A = this chain, B = another copy of it.
Amino acid sequence: MHYSQQLKKYGDSKSAIRELAAYGSRRAREIGEENVFDFSLGAPSVPAPARVTQTMLHLLQTVPPEKLHGYTAAEGDLSVREKIATYLSTRYGIENRPDRVYVMAGASAGLAMVTRALRDSSDDEFVCLAPFWAEYTVFIDTAGAQPVVVPPDYSTFEPDREAFEAAVNEHTKAVFIDQPNNPSGVLYREETLTWLANTLRKKEKEFGHPIYLIADEPYRELAFDGESPYMPHYYADTIIVYSFSKALSLAGERIGYIYVPESVTDGDIIYSVIKGAGRALGYSCAPALMQYTIAENLDITADISVYHRNRDLLYTMLTDLGFECVYPTGAFYMMVKSPSGDGKEFSHTAQAHDVLVTPSDTFGIPGYVRVSFCVSSDRITRSQPAFAQLAQHYGLRPAQ
């Protein structure tokens, strides 16, 4: 064929999220934006901190343009990598290794690169802990490897332990983990992390090769009830993929970093192979102005108290109406169980009430919808009557 059959599939496929967004735009033109309760998107609603804007203005006003906008090293400007490494070293009490920081164009870029860097054979398997961000399987499939999905224990939204142990085999190259989780907002408990690390260490020994944990961290800073765990503290073979998209509300600017901790098996080689992956995928360097900008703002975040307040507001509102919700300790998403047991049906019925929520099937599990609360608090409050009608439709009994 004169084009890629595999990539045509991904170019054509309409994601449920984008279809909802398109419907939302059309519907807003019909009945007014204020009457459409769109909870389908995952874009930060809080502005970037004023200091971030000030940094950009200052750089533009003081640095010669040919320097400011010039190529950096493919792995990022050295001064930027030094600042990130020093920050990580101080914050997590780890080594200071700028030569293990690869500044890249957001978490998507990092995940695509790391997946390709670790893939060596079409038998290679990458484990996704459901629910998970759907693009993982796109990166795995197009790298020429096999995705393996592990279902959750629905009582905790942590991995089903038996299923996980059965899923990891001699072909397993890596396991994706994101905390706080998209779409559930869940942080795994301490004992779960310890079990996960012990299991992976046991499997590494059993199969005689490293099994990497890819810690996908776009939501790291959005934890409401205590800090997100730093996975290299639990498991040596962890590769960090961090993004400033949500932490600094810079999602469209494509800026983040990969960190290969000192503890990682063959870490220098892995770092070098990641560089090879960046070259193969055409990532000359991460956007230069954004590199210099985040380097001056590592210690701050956007005002996440808005998401925290929204979480409380939405959780109380929906549980009061009788909906069964997974309590999110971070990110800006909440999983709500479909009263009919069918996530698509629930999403469809909600749509008829101008409430837009994403079926959980998109994230590898049935029976739920994802409600995004990266919206104005006002939208949540005003959606109460619509959700109340939905509760009535399903015959839910208000909580006492």
Give me the interface of A with B, judged by CB distance under 8 Å: 1-12, 43-48, 52-53, 56-57, 60-61, 64-66, 68-72, 105-106, 108-113, 116-121, 135, 138-139, 142, 173, 209-210, 212, 249-254, 265-266, 269-277, 279-290
Q: Is the CB of B48 within 8 A of A66?
A: yes
Listed by A's residue number, 8 A-B pairs whose Cβ atoms lie within 8 Å are A2-B118, A2-B212, A43-B70, A70-B252, A105-B287, A109-B282, A113-B282, A253-B289
| Chain B residues near A57 (CB-CB < 8 A) | 57, 60-61
Known A276-B11, A280-B10; contact A120-B3, beta-carbon cutoff 8 A: yes
In the complex, what residue of chain B is closest to A54 when comparing beta carbons?
B60
Known A69-B48, A120-B1; contact A112-B252, beta-carbon cutoff 8 A: no
Q: Is the CB of B279 within 8 A of A281?
A: no
Q: A57-B61, A65-B249 are in contact. List 16 more A-B contacts (CB 8 A).
A: A1-B121, A2-B209, A2-B265, A2-B266, A3-B269, A4-B117, A4-B120, A6-B276, A7-B116, A7-B273, A10-B280, A47-B64, A52-B65, A71-B251, A105-B282, A252-B289
Q: Is the CB of B109 within 8 A of A283?
A: yes
Q: Is the CB of A282 within 8 A of B281?
A: yes
Taking the nearest CB of chain B, how far is it from the CB of A282, in angstroms? 3
In the complex, what residue of chain B is closest to A10 when comparing beta carbons?
B276
In the complex, what residue of chain B is closest to A7 when comparing beta carbons?
B276
- Complex CA gap A273/B173 in Å reads 28
Q: Is the CB of A287 within 8 A of B284?
A: no
Taking the nearest CB of chain B, how far is it from the CB of A123, in angstroms? 12
Q: Is the CB of B282 within 8 A of A112?
A: yes
- Complex CA gap A68/B57 in Å reads 14
Q: Is the CB of B290 within 8 A of A135?
A: no
| Chain B residues near A111 (CB-CB < 8 A) | 282
| Chain B residues near A116 (CB-CB < 8 A) | 4, 7
- Complex CA gap A60/B47 in Å reads 12
